[in-house]
Structure 1
Amino acid sequence: MSDDSSVLPHIVVVTTGSAGDLFPFLRLALGLRARGHAVTVLAPDMHEELVRHSGLAFHPMPADPAVLNDPDLWHPRRGFGVVWRAMRAGMEAMHAFVAALPPDQPCTLLVHPLAVAHADLCRAERPGIRIVAGFLAPSNLRTVHDLPVLGPFPVPRWMPLALRRWMWRGVEVSAINPVVVPELNAARRLQGRAPVSSYMDEMYSAPDLSVTLFPEWLAARQPDWPSPLVCGDFPLYDPHPDAAIAPALAQFMRAGSAPLIVTHGTGNLQAAAFFASALAAAQRLGRRIVFLTPHRAQVPASLPPTAFWQDYCPLAALLPGAAALVHHGGVGTMAEAMRAGTPQLIVPMAYDQFDNAFRVTALHAGLTLKATSASASASALGDILERLLQSPEIHIGCAAVKARLAAGGSLDGVIDAISKTVSKTGKI
């Protein structure tokens, strides 16, 4: 570590969303602090305990938990608008925090993709700020080349690039730009700046550096991704790496055959029907099951002796003793299952989950089930779980991705690249 961290820029890490969005940035923040940087994490106030437990400086951003009850939050098309509107108060807090920093202090914003445009607004008021964007999943990056799905819709390999561009433009024009661009341009007008017409163009062009927080064997670098770009690895982070499995859960795990682990994300308050179907599917297959969610009301009220509910347990501790992981397709959950070599059944609902599910299936590390009410029924879940658990190909694929992760990736290279980029004289 440098003996003179005062000459290094203050790195302000800005993220939004659930714990799955927070953890990768905490891993990067800790790596940057180890290289001598002063680091402050700005995140929704509900994450304060997690950030402070890491030992990093924390500044809260307001977050309205009511957003979790919005029926459109997990809608494939309308969910983006819900998330964007929920971010407003937090982004205002980021502007205020940056404006209050000492004027002579070098500053870099390491941001979640959804915060890039707001980081650029901060830079207009404080020239000299550098911006680094961290892309958590392949579908965060627009491309017409490696495009297996666009939202829930499959994209055939034979589809011409021109048609793929047209499809992307349609998504932007109908679902993204109307939500973001008027608000963004209103702020730019107050700064005396020209308007933008595309939010994703702004997200690509504003950063001084972009980094991918997933390995190239999951999604290779594409010619239409932003530049400069450094490709990395999964920044897996466990807030309690030495925590033991809760005694009651450990006893349940030992009491019979390896159970199914079922989770649908820490921020999902709309999973009750899915959990009920999962329980019925497990009973049909004669399988034991563990529900992992902080929201007890989402889990069936009466559980049989073959089922168990736990509010939290590190997946790294739990998955080695599991038969399979059933989840929503969040990139962090997906990566933990890969690290453990655990078969995955992904039931995607929105955002990057469809693309993540496709890639897991393509690696033969799991299967995918559409999250419609009919397809996610107990019968459908039971059928596909039986396929998953009995497939030799899936078990071979899981072992292969586990070995790839164990071999190590280039996360240190990402942290080094960020440190170099944000230094006073460093350049890529």
Structure 2
Amino acid sequence: MATMLLVTHGTDGDVLPFVRLGRQLRAGGHEVTLLTHAHYGGHAARAGLDFVAVDTQLEFERTLADTPELLHGLGWPEFYERNGLYEQMVLEFRAIAERHRPGETVLVGRHTSALSVLFAAEALGAPAAWVAVAPIQLMAARAALHAYRHLLADGLGRVRRELGLGQVADWNAWFASARLELGLWPRWFDRAGARSPARVRLTGFPLPDDDQDDALPPELAGLPDGPRPVLVTGGTGRMLHREFYTAAVEGGGLAGRPVLLVVRHRDLVPDPLPPGVSWYPSLPFRAVMPRVAAIVHHGGIGTLSRALRAGTPQVILAHGVDRPDNAERLERHGLASWLPAPRWTPREVSALLAKEAGRGRVVPPPGEDAAHEAPAEAAGLIAALLEPPVADSPADGIRRRLDHLSAEQRRLVADRLRGRLAERGA
């Protein structure tokens, strides 16, 4: 039995995949501790995980309230200082060190943000894995490294001195020091945009809500009843364009459909709500999505993957962070429609809703990685970090590189191979 220490930050799309991964690791016989925001203690308990809160509920809400300003000019140094994120790193490191068992511990962190995992791996000599929940985390790694090395250098230097760590001699090597990098999305999704580096193992969407209760409020138990409603959600965070909910709700109303508005923070939505709009702080999406005509959402990876699994048509109002990239990847496969913020008008949203709601069930490309197997594959790769390393065979290396090629690129490779074989045969 190994000790698995998982560190993540953010909202549902960043944290619940780690809960699901922790549950899978625990099913494999490992001791698992999740270190994340106090808000997720209940999720960890239901999954049977030990839990360390890296903040309080009040601090979590304060940080969420601050995040929209990152889209409107607040600098990262100010954000870190105002929200005590350097102190949080120290707390995480010490909690990891207390639970570390030499030779029997694996550290797992959210890609790019879980610096405490790299600090602890460096200090303790433990193997580390970084887990990305969306492609943008890999695409933005160079920019993040620049921020850590320059914009946040003073604060990170204070943290390292407090932890007894010296200066980083080679930032590029240190930032890439995790033994394993995982991407929690399928290969077809990866090929629809900038490709992940070959070193990153892709395991498919984790669908973290598979472990949650599907009970619906009584008034929704009979869906559909009359025109099928539109589901509108901007996720569980507050980092949204200020016009998101207004455009989504008015567009749904103009389309002539009831709107189920799901948002934890009531102050983000129009007040009073227009007729035909029902507000819920949360709903079990696994049960709701197959029953609605379409969903209008922000482009978060958890929401879009759940909609894909349900076959629910999607209209995405994407702005900031990973969302435009996620939306473009789906649109390239003909699986969703999306609008950038300058085009968020009720008329355009309504027109896309009419288009999407009329198309019926949306089916991902053939051969999609099975979502229900993704946590098991990821957990197996993480557990294998405690085993002696085995070098890839030449065939393994070739297969991994081929996995990251598009269908057209594979066709060109196959044509060249056939040409060479024909030349030898001649």
Query: For residue 289 of structure 2, what is the aligned residue in structure 1?
Result: 319
AA aligned to 1:388 is: E
| Aligned CA distance change for structure 1 residues 347 and 62 (closer, same or farther; 3 Å) | same
Q: CA deviation at 1:51?
A: 1.3
What is the Cα deviation at residue 379 of structure 1?
Answer: 2.9
Aligned equivalents of 1:290 and 1:125: distance in 2?
49
Deviation at 1:261, TM superposition (A): 0.6
C-alpha separation between the residues in 1 aligned to 2:367 and 2:229?
23
Within the candidate set 145, 168, 171, 1:194 is matched to 168
Partner of 1:161: none
Structure 2 residue 234 is matched with structure 1 residue 237? no
Residues 30-60 of structure 1: CA deviation (Å, up to 9, x unaligned): 1111111111111111111121122211111
Q: Displacement of 1:118 after TM fit? A: 2.3
Corresponding residue to 2:64 among 65, 68, 71? 68
From 45, 50, 58, the counterpart of 1:52 = 45
The match for 1:225 is: 197
Say which of 89, 105, 108 aligns to 1:107. 105
Structure 1 residues 216 and 270, CA gap change in structure 2 (3 angstroms): closer
The 5 A counterparts of 1:190-339 are 190-197=164-171, 202-203=174-175, 205-220=176-191, 225=197, 227=199, 229-238=200-209, 241-251=212-222, 253-268=223-238, 273-339=243-309
How far apart are 1:382 and its partner, in Å? 2.2
Residue of 326, 332, 343 corresponding to 1:362? 332
1:176-187 equivalence runs, <5 A: 177-187=149-159
Q: Residue in 2 aligned with 1:91?
A: 89
- Cα deviation for residue 109 of structure 1 reads 0.8
Letter of the 1:118 partner, please give it: S
CA contact (8 A) 1:319 1:342 kept: yes
The equivalent of 1:120 in structure 2 is: 118
- In structure 2, the CA distance between the partners of 1:270 and 1:245, relative to structure 1 (3 Å rule), is same
Q: Select between 171-180 and 308-317 the one with higher mean Cα deviation.
A: 171-180
Percent of aligned positions that are identical: 26
356-365 or 114-123: bigger deviation:
114-123
Query: In structure 2, do the counterparts of structure 1 residues 248 and 88 end up closer, same or farther at CA, with 3 Å as the change threshold?
Result: farther
330 and 249 in structure 1: CA distance in 2 versus 1, 3 angstrom threshold: same
Whole-Å separation in 2 of the counterparts to 1:294 and 1:123? 36
- The TM-score with structure 1 as length reference comes to 0.79
Give 3-state SS (helix, strand or coil) of 2:261's partner: strand
The CA deviation at 1:409 is 5.3
SS for the counterpart of 2:382 is helix
In 2, the alpha carbon distance for the partners of 1:365 and 1:179 equals: 38
TM-score, structure 2 length as denominator?
Answer: 0.79
SS in 2 for 1:49: helix
After superposition, what is the alpha-carbon deviation per residue over 1:238-275, rounded to whole angstroms, capped at 9, x for unaligned? 27534311112335x33321111100011127566432
Deviation at 1:136, TM superposition (A): 0.8
The correspondence for 1:418, drawn from 373, 382, 407, is 382
CA RMSD in angstroms, aligned pairs only: 3.1
Mapped contact 1:324–1:343 kept (Cα < 8 A): yes
Contact 2:3 2:100 in 1 (8 A): no
* Secondary structure at the counterpart of residue 110 of structure 1: strand
User: Is contact 2:103–2:386 with CA below 8 Å preserved after alignment?
Assistant: no
Helix, strand or coil for the counterpart of 1:267?
A: coil
Question: Which consecutive unaligned segments of at least 5 residues does structure 2 have?
Answer: 392-426
* Number of the residue aligned with 2:126: 129
CA gap of 1:295–1:231, structure 2 versus 1, over 3 A, is: same
Supply the distance in 2 between the matched residues of 1:218 and 1:76 (Cα, whole angstroms).
29
Q: Which amino acid counterpart does residue 70 of structure 1 have in structure 2?
A: D
Matched residue of 2:364: which SS?
helix
Q: CA deviation at 1:21?
A: 0.7
The alpha-carbon deviation at position 405 of structure 1 amounts to: 5.7
Give the Cα–Cα distance (whole angstroms) in 2 for the partners of residues 102 and 177 of structure 1: 27
Determine the C-alpha separation between the residues in 2 that align with 1:359 and 1:417.
26
Question: Aligned with 1:17: secondary structure?
Answer: coil
* Cα deviation code 1:313-365 (max 9, x no counterpart): 12111000111111111111110011011111111222111211110111111
Task: Indicate the SS of the match to 2:71.
Answer: coil
Further displaced range: 179-188 or 24-33: 179-188
Which position in structure 2 is the counterpart of 1:387?
355
Count of aligned positions: 383
CA distance, structure 1, for counterparts of residue 118 and residue 144 of structure 2: 20
2:409 matched to which residue of 1? none
Q: Distance in 2 between matches of 1:76 and 1:109?
A: 34
AA in 2 matched with 1:313: L
**Secondary structure in structure 1 of the residue aligned to 2:208:** coil
**SS in structure 1 of the partner of residue 108 of structure 2:** strand
